[in-house]
A and B are shown apart, each in its own frame.
Chain A
């Protein structure tokens, strides 16, 4: 197993945002978290990436315990993410966003950065080439020199994904990557995610668009009020009476 989450619990005030959640994600799969708003999905992402400390529970990645590590250490361990409300570096260009995402690929520190060293220039050149290749793959190569804020919304979502991929992670957490995309963009996103899976990348996916989830996910975890109410293949979950009940009151969420 690439990722193993056990007994994960997080309280906000007196309310359990996530209660005793456990799941396992195998390498090279797409694992979807679904559930109504406020079910605790984003909180689970924040717990895995270290943005929030869990109250209890364990998170193991490649056998290594992540609880207690700082977010940057978790990124260095091989986990990156995208944000539901985009957190691009909007003052930077598209290319600079990806270069910043590739921070972990570089070695040059603060002091060395002050000087013009051949080793630094070689490193910069290599990372820049890789970043450009990634932009080409995702279809943003022509926008490389534009300010990130100038991109249309759909491309900003893609840029966030490119930034998350830039460091060469083994697990990527995607928080509603299709939100705000039109149906064509959503189709091509789904195709891209499947292509990434073929390359061996593992993904955790939060998504409200059920069509996308059913299409790409290998396994689905359904949450409601911080609890796991079902887990299984997309087909199993779709037929689960608990899931249908949870979604009846929130049918506006299901596409």
Chain B
């Protein structure tokens, strides 16, 4: 307990000092992106690491949040402070609608269904030209302003994103230690045993799914306010895979895993963008995805519990990876 009492305020202080220490807008923007991705991966981590359900379609919820902000503020001239909660709510509602039938599916079929949903939404972004602006997207999204405070600089946005993230972290910290958190873990360990303990597994899985969609939508809304421009390309299948990669790299079912995973993947992506053209002149496009794919493969083979568990493996390595894949024991 005393550790937390010191660590938490120290972490918050450090956080507040970051923009004063870093003068580079580039570094600040990377920290903002890491913060945004961590919000998404927090939700995905609850879904995958605790409830044991995979989603290869979370980029869709991220995108739905972004487009909600873009459309409400530019087409319907909503106040920005109302558009942001709408960006979280709409994906939540959609998750509630599609979640019940979808979460009945297991493993392979759930992966395929969420993947299909993600691609379908991505197609809608590209094809729904009147509403979404098609492939070229929507420009001119206003800055977010809350009660006279306008988030028009990287520094302000940095504080906004990271304070939001810390509030979410605090909430998740409460959740995973609670009755509901234990019940979610029980689902990923043995659905039969969980049901026999009186846990309505279908309902909890759905709640975890909605929660993860809300967070992804919130991150999408913040993203739209940050870049003030939105197009379909950041919300495709690759983004969904990257979110899964972040969740897995950081270690599923761990508290700091999502932050670690997002930081590693974003930093690695930036590094590769700089390093690959030095090695292979003229390389363009999203070639860093080669490495993301390889890392994902190697992780799943050799360290499915993620990098975050590196310290733990010295003591007692878990027999199976928690969360990914319900152990299909027969009764």
Contact = CB atoms under 8 A, between A and B. Distances in A.
Contacts of B200: 70, 72
Interface in B260-283: none
Contacts of A109: 180
A113 B174 contact: yes
Contact of B175 (A75, A88, A114): A114
Instruction: Decide if the interface of chain B is mainly helix, strand, loop or mixed.
Output: helix
A17 B189 CA distance: 28
B196 interface: yes
B175 to A, nearest CB: 5
A123 B43 CA distance: 26
Contact of B193 (A50, A83, A114): A83
Interface residues on B, range: 35 or more
Contacts of A115: 171, 174
B199 A103 contact: yes
Contact of B180 (A72, A113, A163): A113
Given A90-B189, A92-B185, A99-B179, A104 B198 contact: yes
Interface in A40-81: 42, 46, 49-51, 70-72, 75-76, 80-81
B191 to A, nearest CB: 9
Interface residues of A, number: 45
Nearest 8 CB-CB pairings of A with B? A75-B198, A71-B195, A113-B178, A114-B171, A104-B198, A87-B193, A106-B179, A113-B180
A80 B196 contact: yes
A108 B204 CA distance: 13
Contacts of B211: 110
A116 interface: yes
B331 A46 contact: yes
Interface of B: 171-172, 174-175, 178-183, 185-186, 189-190, 192-201, 204, 207-208, 211, 253, 316, 318-319, 322, 329-331
A115 B181 CA distance: 12
6 contacts: A72-B198, A85-B330, A87-B192, A89-B193, A109-B180, A113-B181
A42 B331 contact: yes
Contacts of B185: 89, 91-92, 100
A168 to B, nearest CB: 11
Given A113-B174, A114-B175, A83 B197 contact: no
A147 interface: yes
A163 to B, nearest CB: 7
Given A110-B207, A113-B175, A114-B175, A91 B318 contact: yes
Nearest to A107: B179
Contacts of B316: 147, 150
Output the residue of B182, B198, B211, B329 with the most chain A CB within 10 A.
B198
A85 B201 CA distance: 21
B198 A76 contact: yes
Nearest to B179: A106
B175 A100 contact: no
A96 interface: yes
A53 to B, nearest CB: 13
A36 interface: no
A25 B175 CA distance: 40
A88 B193 contact: yes
A113 B182 CA distance: 11
A89 B318 CA distance: 12
B197 A104 contact: yes
Given A87-B190, A87-B329, A103 B178 contact: no
B208 to A, nearest CB: 8
B321 to A, nearest CB: 10
Contacts of A114: 171-172, 174-175
